[in-house]
Amino acid sequence: MIREITSKDIPVLLVYGKHFWKLTPYVSAGIEYNEDAVRELLQELAEEHYLRVAEEDGKIIGFVGAMIVPMIFNPKVSVATEVFFFVHPDFRGATGSALMDQLEKDLEDQVDLVSFGEMTSSTDMHDYYIDRGYSHTETTYAKAL
């Protein structure tokens, strides 16, 4: 089942976030997980943007969050920019597709464009997004100073 989050879900998402953070390239750059910042981000997404969870047997198994903002190059275009998209490894496939389907359905009348990112620590997202009709538009690079 996919649903909006409640305040009781935030501690669970914080645990997932901490686990996921350890797998990101930001760790090797020395950037620590900031639970307070993530908590505030979750609350902002839930109240002002977009945040949904997938659950099975009463347990959260995935979630997707996006900021809804004007496109920086053309403010007449609204964009849902993915902040995070995570599905527990035991439930990937159908659950991820269901989360994306729900996001697209929920936002089809609110935004003109949906944008998802791909971390270098992910192994299969490029083909997944292409197969769903997304175009590869940009790749980013980061350097810790």
pLDDT band at 49 (very low <50, low <70, confident <90, very high): very high
pLDDT confidence band for 145 (50 / 70 / 90) = confident
CA distances from 31 to 20, 27, 40, 105, 131 (A): 13, 5, 18, 35, 33
Asked if 8 contacts 60 with a C-beta cutoff of 8 angstroms, the reply is no
> What domains, with CATH codes, occur in the chain?
2-131 (3.40.630.30)
CA–CA distance, 13 with 38 (Å, rounded to integer): 9
Backbone dihedral region for residue 56 (phi beyond 0: left; psi -120 to 50: alpha; all else: beta): beta
What gap in Å lies between CA 5 and CA 128, rounded to an integer?
25
| Residue 70 clears pLDDT 80, i.e. is over it | yes
